[in-house]
Structures are given as structure tokens and as C-alpha cells.
Amino acid sequence: MKLIENKNILLGVCGGIAAYKSVELLRLLKRHGANVKVFMTENSEAFVGRLTFEALSGQPVCSSLFEKVGSRSEHIGHIDWAEKADALVIAPATANIIGKIANGIADDALSTLVLAVTSPVIICPSMNTNMYRNRALQRNLDRLRQDGLFVIEPESGELACGTSGPGRLPEPEYILDRLLFRLSPKDLKDKNILVTAGPTQEYIDPVRFLSNPSSGKMGYSIARAAEKRGGRVVLVTGPTSLSDPLNATVIRVGSAEDMAIAVFEHMEHADIIIKAAAVSDYRPVDPCQQKIKKEKDEIVLSLQKNQDILEELGRRKENRLLVGFAAETENLEKNSVDKLVRKNLDIIVGNLVGRPSSGFGSDSNKVTFFYKDGTTESFPEMGKDEVADILLDRIVTMVRYRLSDN
């Protein structure tokens, strides 16, 4: 997640039972390379000790309006950090801080900081359900949205006070995801992006199938990254254990035939199609209706070729930008370029598979992009999220180039 690496993220913590989740959020931000400075309200110290935040952030916590930075008296803590901030996240945000922000009140370090920052501000309300539904609170939240602050809705569920309903602070991973959404360039805004991911399963009998080790991670990373950049994403995915990317239309399929139906149904509206799925090339000619019994020492399985979905997309492509993947164990360049040409693609992402840290199942990938103009770009091994972002960077450039060409 390069987006927050070495960036100054300010974390505001208010007095609520959910303050313990801010500790995990801080750890996540640090894990992704952010410099984090924590601002605590006086009440929050009743829930989590400042030492915890100081130890994990490696920075003194700011809770006083009069904290100075260094020895120079003109450097006041909250002003100094406000100027350096790349984003401010307040989690949990109580009704009190929301009311203060909505009305421009600055009577402690955190509320004063909010007035002084010019970076994006993300507010994560968390409180008792009745307080959350209160009209004054909702009015204040509307005011915040109108003022350009980004409000992350609380989750519904059982709350610490015993009531049930909206008011629970979302999980730190979700808050981080929405922070990245807020900070991402919206260079795919209004673009319809169709992504495929995962394996397909070709059943031999009701309890056995032919498949491959695709986990879906590569395709899901692309879908998540495209959504953050403002794209309208449709994800057609084979069976995976991954949770649905936020704000994407997710269509779960089983076989290559099911995937073909879903892809052709959604291709019409797509501006960009990215096929990261590992589609089975063959399926059993005559799958058994009942479980095959272990009676014979040897059985022969007859297979027939599945339709090549990508090749068909290449035929019907028109103005769409079409990207394929090639999973290769050898001759990466030759095999990838063959597919690029045969399937009429704009880019093919060649990836070496068959090693633990690249290709199927891993969190990282080692890829080379082959472009239709004959150029190539090779990358060192990197996280699949990073591969997804670089691929989308190249796609955005190609789309812009085409628009300026027309």
C-alpha cells in the first residue's frame, strides 16, 4: 500500500468504548509504512492509556492545546502537525467531537487540529444507537459531509451499552480501506470495469471436480484497486474464500461455461476488461450423475475443450481495452506474446507460476507486462495489491492516450 507509505496520518481518538480498536488501526497504519501521530481527547484516556499509543506510534501523543514541538516556541503541536498531515482519521468519533466540528468549536487539541488541517478528514462515528439516531447528531453529520469531510457509517449490531442497532465502530481493516479510497486518485471515475478472478471447477461427478490452485487474490486486488480509483466494478469470480470487494457487483460462478455466460452478459457495458481468472481449459465430456465408485483399478476420463472466453472477447472487443493474464512455467515471453496476439489484447500480464512467491495462491507476484505495440515492462516480485495498482496506472495512461487520439 504505497499510498500511505511515509505519509503523515493523524489519528484522533475520542472517549468511547471502541477506542481499543484505534490501537489496532494504529498498528495497521504503521504496518503499511505510515508515520502516525495520535491526538487524544481528555475523555479517551479513561479508555486506553496514552502510553499504548506512544509505544506503538513511536511519537508522543498530543492531547493539549499548548504542546510545543521541539525547543522553538513558535512550533505549536497541533498546528505543526496540521500543516504536515496527509490525512486525519478520527476513530472513534463521539457525538461531542462531531458537534464541535460541525459548529467550528475549537476548545481542545483535537477539535483545534480539525480546524487547522487542510488534508482529507475521515470521521468514524461510534456511539449508542439512540444517540446515533438523534436528529441533532444526524444534522451535524450532514453538515460535516456538506463541508467535505468523509463520514464512514458505523456498523449495526450489539453495542457495549447493551442496545442493538447502528453505532458500532467498523473494523480497523475497513477503516483503512476507506482511508485508501479517500486518498486514491479517481482516475477511473465513470469507467465500467469487468474483472475475472479465481479458478473454475469442472465436475467429474457430484463430489469431484477438475480445477487449479488459483485463490482469486490477483483478480480481487485488481477489483479493489479499481473501485478505490472510482471505477464501477463487476467482478466475475470462480469459487474463492475471499470476501467481496467493497462496492463491486460480485457474480460467483462455478464452471468455465458459467463464467463465459456471466462475462458475455456484462461485457457490453464494460470499458475495460481484465481477465485474471484461471479458467479450466478442459471439462469432462460426460460427467457422472452419481458418485463414481472405486471399483476399477483404472478409469479413463474423456475431456473436451472449454471455450476460450478471452479469445472470444478479443473478437468482440470494439473500443474496449482488453487485458489478459498468462500463467507460464517456461518461455514466459514467447507464450505470453503468442496469447497477446492470438486473443487481440492490449496488454498481457505474464506471470511465472510454479514457485511459492509468485502466481497461484501467494500474496506476491512476479510479472512482466507485454504491450500490443511490442514493448515490455518487467517488475521485481511485489505484492499483488501493488501489481494491481501499477497495471491500473498503465491502463489509465492507455485510456487517456486513446481519448486524446480521437
35 counts as binding ligand PMT under rule CB under 6 A:
no
Q: Is 324 in the site for ligand PMT (CB under 6 A)?
A: yes
Q: Check if the beta carbon of residue 128 is closer than 8 Å to that of residue 169.
A: no
Residue range at the interface with ligand PMT (CB under 6 A); choices 50-58, 61-69, 141-149, 301-309: 301-309
What lies within 8 Å, CB to CB, of 116 at 6+ separation is 78, 79, 82, 83
Confirm if 27 and 56 have CB atoms less than 8 A apart.
yes
Count helices and strands (H / E) in the chain: 13, 21
Is residue 309 involved in binding ligand PMT (CB under 6 A)?
yes
* Residue 339 engages ligand PMT in binding (rule: CB under 6 A): yes
One of 171, 205, 257, 308 touching ligand PMT (CB under 6 A): 308
* Under rule CB under 6 A, residue 383 binds ligand PMT: no
* Ranges within 47-86 binding ligand PMT (CB under 6 A): none
Which residue stretch of 131-139, 296-304, 325-333, 393-401 sits at the interface with ligand PMT (rule: CB under 6 A)?
Answer: 325-333
Torsion 210-212-213-214 (CA) sign:
negative
Query: What residues act catalytically?
Result: 161
Question: Can residue 310 be called a binding residue for ligand PMT (CB under 6 A)?
Answer: yes
320 scored as a contact of ligand PMT (CB under 6 A): no
Q: What dihedral do alpha carbons 183, 186, 187, 190 form, nearest 10°?
A: 160
Which DSSP category does 381 fall into?
Answer: S
Quick check: 237 and 197 in contact, CB under 8 A? yes
Considering the complex, what minimum distance in angstroms separates the CB of residue 340 from ligand PMT? 10
User: 10 or 279, CB closer to ligand PMT?
Assistant: 279
* Contact (Cβ atoms closer than 8 angstroms) between residue 313 and residue 259: no
Question: In the bound complex, what is the minimum distance in angstroms from residue 349's beta carbon to ligand PMT?
Answer: 7
Q: Per DSSP, what are the bridge partners of residue 352?
A: 328
190: left (phi over 0), alpha (psi -120 to 50) or beta: left
In angstroms, what is the minimal distance from the CB of 263 to ligand PMT? 8
Nearer to ligand PMT by Cβ, of 193 and 277: the residue is 277
Asked whether 372 and 345 are in contact (CB, 8 A), the reply is yes
| Residue 109 near ligand PMT by CB under 6 A | no
When the beta carbons of 186 and 342 are compared against ligand PMT, the nearer one is 342
Question: Residues 170 to 229: which contact ligand PMT by CB under 6 A?
Answer: 198, 214-218
Smallest CA-to-CA distance from 34 within 104, 110, 85 is with: 85
Site for ligand PMT in 246-265 (CB under 6 A): 256
Instruction: Reduce the DSSP state of residue 321 to 3 states and report it.
Output: strand
Min CB(69)–ligand PMT separation in Å: 44
Q: Is 238 in the site for ligand PMT (CB under 6 A)?
A: no
Beta partners for 346? none
In the complex, what is the shortest distance from the CB of residue 311 to ligand PMT, in angstroms, rounded to a whole number? 7
Q: How far apart are CA 250 and CA 161, in angstroms?
A: 35
CA angle 48, 52, 58 (to 5 degrees): 140
Cβ 197 to ligand PMT shortest distance, Å: 6
The reply to whether 306 sits near ligand PMT by the rule CB under 6 A is yes
Rounded to 5°, angle at Cα 12 from 6 and 16: 140
Q: Give kind and range of the element (H or E) at residue 79.
A: helix 77-84
Nearer to ligand PMT, 81 or 325 (CB): 325
DSSP annotation of 11: E
x/- site string to ligand PMT, residues 263 to 292, per CB under 6 A?
Answer: ------------xxxxx-x-----------
**340-379 footprint of ligand PMT as x/- string (CB under 6 A):** -----------x-x-----xxx------------------
How far is it, in rounded angstroms, from Cα 370 to Cα 61? 49
| Nearest distance from C-beta of residue 343 to ligand PMT, angstroms | 7
CB 231 within 8 A of CB 187: no
Give bridge partners of residue 365 from the DSSP assignment. 382
- By CB under 6 A, tell whether 327 contacts ligand PMT: yes
Answer for which of 326, 332, 390, 392 binds ligand PMT (CB under 6 A) is 326
Closest separation in Å from C-beta 268 to ligand PMT: 17
**Phi, psi (degrees; rounded to nearest 5) at 341:** -75, -50
Residues near ligand PMT (CB under 6 A) are 198, 214-218, 256, 275-279, 281, 306, 308-310, 324-327, 339, 351, 353, 359-361
